[in-house]
Amino acid sequence: MNKFVAIVGSNSQKSTNRDLLKYMKRHFQSKAEIELVEISGLPLYKKTPDEFVPQEALDIAKKIEASDGVIIATPEYDHSIPAVLSSALAWLSYGIHPLVDKPVMITGASYGSLGSSRAQAQLRQILDSPEIKARIMPSSEFLLGHSLQAFDEDGNLKDKKVVEQLDGLFQDFLQFVNIAKQLNNANDVNKQKAEEFSWDKD
């Protein structure tokens, strides 16, 4: 059975993105083992002369490296991902590169009708950056709009069509992960390039 790391892209105590990942963990428990990972304990990203990486980031990186894939749930603030998620991804590409060639599924929930669509588009660009180089599942937006009304009292999604869409996308992700395992012939080179890349050098 595949093991996935699910990153809660928010530091809010009451987050519908966390609710979404909790639902996915329960709903897909017969298909995959999903571990929720919080990023709220990470300090704000800051470059240092000795490239110090906090232990919290190293612990998350270790879980990602041991996983078969990553699911990220992002809210949308001002048409972009939250600063806490941006900071976390910066730590995960600063001297460590656990996301190189790692299959990633992007999800997102928002209070409005757009379901974090702009944030997801931005997140795709970030994950494709030369320091991260994740393997993002294509054409796979899961946009949960009006998320405050989306769950019942047991934390389950109420709309059957939404559930059907998520079921289909998750099945696609399982297949994507299996395909990605066969596409790692350049993994060592890709990791080396990520390690050698620097915006400070020409």
For the chain, the domains span 2-196
pLDDT digits (tens, 9 = 90+) for 63-85: 999 999 999 999 988 889 999 99
- Tokens standing for 182? 């066969």
pLDDT digits (tens, 9 = 90+) for 22-38: 999 999 999 999 999 99
Calpha distance 14→11 (Å, rounded): 9
pLDDT digits (tens, 9 = 90+) for 88-124: 999 999 999 999 999 999 999 988 877 788 999 999 9
Element (H, E) at 163: helix 160-180
Query: For residue 184, what pLDDT band results from cuts at 50, 70 and 90?
Result: confident
Element (H, E) at 8: strand 2-8
- Annotation: CATH topology of 2-196: Rossmann fold (3.40.50)
Query: For residue 199, what pLDDT band results from cuts at 50, 70 and 90?
Result: low
Question: What is the chain's Cα-based Rg?
Answer: 16
Give the residue with greater pLDDT, 201 vs 134. Answer: 134
Distance, C-alpha 109 to centroid of its chain? 13
3-state secondary structure of 105: strand
- Tokens standing for 9? 């892209």
pLDDT digits (tens, 9 = 90+) for 147-158: 999 999 999 999
- Give pLDDT, residue 200: 66
Q: What is the mean pLDDT of the chain?
A: 93
